[in-house]
Structure 1
Amino acid sequence: MNKFFIAVVGLLTVLVVGCNQLTQYSVTEQEINQALAKRNNYAKDLGLPGLADAHIVLSNLTSQIGRQEPNKVTLNGDANVNLTSIFGNQQATLKLTLKALPTFNKEQGAIYLQDMEVVNVEVLPQKMESVMKTITPYLNQSLKAYFNQQPAYVLSEDRSKGEALAKQYAKGIEVKPGEIVIPFVE
């Protein structure tokens, strides 16, 4: 009797997990991080030409999905800044924390990080902090525009059957800790 009960529970578990794969597809933090590493091409020149120019390159992006704030994605990364001004050339690294709202574009089969916002900046070396504070609002606006236009993850029909199904039958997204779930049914 006990073995029969364990077998029935095991069979039901397999059925539920199997049916779950037929009703949704999940994109994990690791998959988002790999896509960001491959697709992130943020490099921008900000400032006043001839007076002060900052060339900024974003790198080392990592995501945390739904962990720090429900329905939000938190990104951590570095912004390497080369500043050219009438006072000479200087370099700094900004350790950034960004937050965004993930959205799904069904036509493109793409997950976007909308309304990106810089929520924390650590400046290295610290002596550059006052200069970088003047650049941060422009960087914030530029990052928001960039991530509104560039997808963080694009579903591919070539990668897996699950992604092909998600691209065809997606009904939106749900943010859960560690993953973005794309349900196929409402």
Structure 2
Amino acid sequence: MNFKKLVLPILLSSVMLLSGCTSYSITEKEMTDYLSDEINVEKSVGIPGFLYAQVNVENVDVHIGRIDSNRISIFANTTAEIQMMDEIKQNLNLTLEFSAVPEYDKDAGEIYLKFLRLEKCEDKNQQLSPDIITLLKPAVSMIGYALSNEPAYKLSSDKLKESLIKSAKPNLVIKNNKLVIELFD
């Protein structure tokens, strides 16, 4: 066996145990800030002149393990501009809620949101009928799809603790409304 391959894991484990670095917690605020800074979601769907919607995510708020112990809830305030047939475009304020299962990519040190579900889609101003809200759901679901294809959080290689955790390829769990990346189960 190659000596270098044996020394690195032992050295990393020793350093992390001595420094108390057996886990790394990500708070709801940290994940909210990361999503707000890193992900820009703007989606269009439909056929112009018939039914067309443009949806933009403006505010994101993350709750970890509050509604379901193994899921993350993502609340988003969005604006939407819709046009049906030849009617005047309507501007809407929508409240969206998605839930997802966090998944940790051990090689990249990134957390992704998988198995996304649209839990709620409401028009704050109640301008639309429930039928129109139903027609908007595909555009809203595209926002969820965009969220699931970009990392919801990424460990930094520039920060020692995050870099050490990342290199050890740990597991991800939800504890006390935090995502916890831990070395040992």
Give your verdict on TM over 0.5. yes
CA contact (8 A) 2:121 2:133 kept: no
Amino acid at match of 1:97: E
Matches within 5 A, 1:90-109: 90-109=90-109
Amino acid at match of 1:111: I
Matches within 5 A, 1:141-156: 142-156=142-156
Task: Give how far 1:124 is off.
Answer: 2.5
Paired residue secondary structure (1:67): coil
Separation in 2, partners of 1:19, 1:174 = 22
How many residue pairs get aligned? The number is 167
TM (norm. structure 2) is: 0.83
Paired residue secondary structure (2:128): helix
Match of 1:121 in 2: 121
Task: Give how far 1:178 is off.
Answer: 1.9
Paired residue secondary structure (1:127): coil
Is residue 136 from structure 1 mapped to residue 137 from structure 2 by the alignment? yes
Amino acid at match of 2:51: A
Task: Give how far 1:59 is off.
Answer: 1.9
Separation in 1, partners of 2:19, 2:121 = 40
Amino acid at match of 1:27: I
Separation in 1, partners of 2:137, 2:60 = 18
CA contact (8 A) 2:42 2:143 kept: no
Separation in 1, partners of 2:155, 2:64 = 17
Moved more, 143-152 or 51-60: 143-152
Separation in 2, partners of 1:74, 1:20 = 32
Is residue 54 from structure 1 mapped to residue 89 from structure 2 by the alignment? no
Structure 1: which 5+ residue stretches go unaligned?
1-17
Match of 1:67 in 2: 66
Match of 2:183 in 1: 184
**Identity between Structure 1 and Structure 2 (%):** 26
Q: Deviations over 1:28-82 (max 9, x none)?
A: 1111011011012110001123312111001211111011111100111112101
Amino acid at match of 1:29: E
TM (norm. structure 1) is: 0.82
Task: Give how far 1:84 is off.
Answer: 2.5
CA contact (8 A) 2:58 2:77 kept: yes
CA contact (8 A) 1:115 1:144 kept: no
Q: Deviations over 1:101-135 (max 9, x none)?
A: 00011122111111221111221221214322211
Structure 2: which 5+ residue stretches go unaligned?
1-16
- After superposition, the CA RMSD in angstroms is 1.8
Match of 1:21 in 2: 20
